[in-house]
C-alpha cells in the first residue's frame, strides 16, 4: 500500500509542474500580469529590456503590467522547458510576439514541495 501511494505521489509531481508552466504560458500569451504574478516568490528578479533588478512581488507585478500595456501580446510559443537534475527548479523559454516587437522570454522557478515559485523573469528583445 505504501509503495502504491509513493508511486501516485511521485508520478503526480511532473504534472503539477506542467500545470504551473501551462498556466503561466497562458497568462503570458494574454498579457495577464496578475496571472503570472500569482506564481511570484516574495522577491523576483525581473529583467525587461535593459531594466533589470530584484523587486518585491507587488512591484514586479506593477512593472509587468506596465510592460504588457506598452507591448500588448499577440501570441506566445514555448520553445523549451526543463527541470534541474536535482528537481528543485524548473525553467521555460519562449517567444512573445507583441504589436511592436518579438521578445525571448525566460522564466526560472524554484520548486518547494508542490509549490512552484517564480524567481526570475526576463524579456529580451530579439
SS3 5: helix
CA distance 75 to 94: 10
Nine-digit cell at 34? 496578475
pLDDT at residue 18, as a whole number: 52
In tens, the pLDDT along 73-99 reads 999 999 999 988 988 999 999 999 999
| Domains of the chain listed by start with CATH number | 2-125 (3.10.450.50)
pLDDT at residue 3, as a whole number: 40
In tens, the pLDDT along 97-107 reads 999 999 999 99
Distances (CA, A) of 26 to 16, 23, 43, 61, 112: 15, 5, 22, 16, 22
Nine-digit cell at 65? 503590467
pLDDT at residue 12, as a whole number: 35
In tens, the pLDDT along 13-72 reads 333 345 578 899 999 999 999 999 999 999 999 999 999 999 999 999 999 999 999 999
Nearest to 107, CA basis, from 94, 125, 87, 92: 92
Task: Kindly state the DSSP code that residue 39 receives in the 8-state scheme.
Answer: T
Amino acid at each position: 500500500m505504501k509503495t502504491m501511494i509513493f508511486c501516485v505521489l511521485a508520478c503526480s509531481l511532473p504534472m503539477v509542474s506542467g500545470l504551473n508552466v501551462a498556466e503561466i504560458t497562458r497568462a503570458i500569451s494574454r498579457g495577464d500580469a496578475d496571472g503570472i504574478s500569482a506564481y511570484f516568490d516574495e522577491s523576483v528578479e525581473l529583467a525587461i529590456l535593459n531594466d533589470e533588478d530584484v523587486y518585491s512581488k507587488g512591484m514586479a507585478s506593477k512593472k509587468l503590467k506596465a510592460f504588457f500595456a506598452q507591448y500588448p501580446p499577440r501570441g506566445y510559443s514555448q520553445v523549451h522547458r526543463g527541470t534541474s537534475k536535482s528537481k528543485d527548479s524548473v525553467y521555460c523559454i519562449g517567444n512573445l510576439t507583441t504589436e511592436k516587437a518579438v521578445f525571448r522570454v525566460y522564466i526560472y522557478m524554484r520548486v518547494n514541495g508542490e509549490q512552484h515559485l517564480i524567481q526570475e523573469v526576463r524579456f529580451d528583445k530579439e
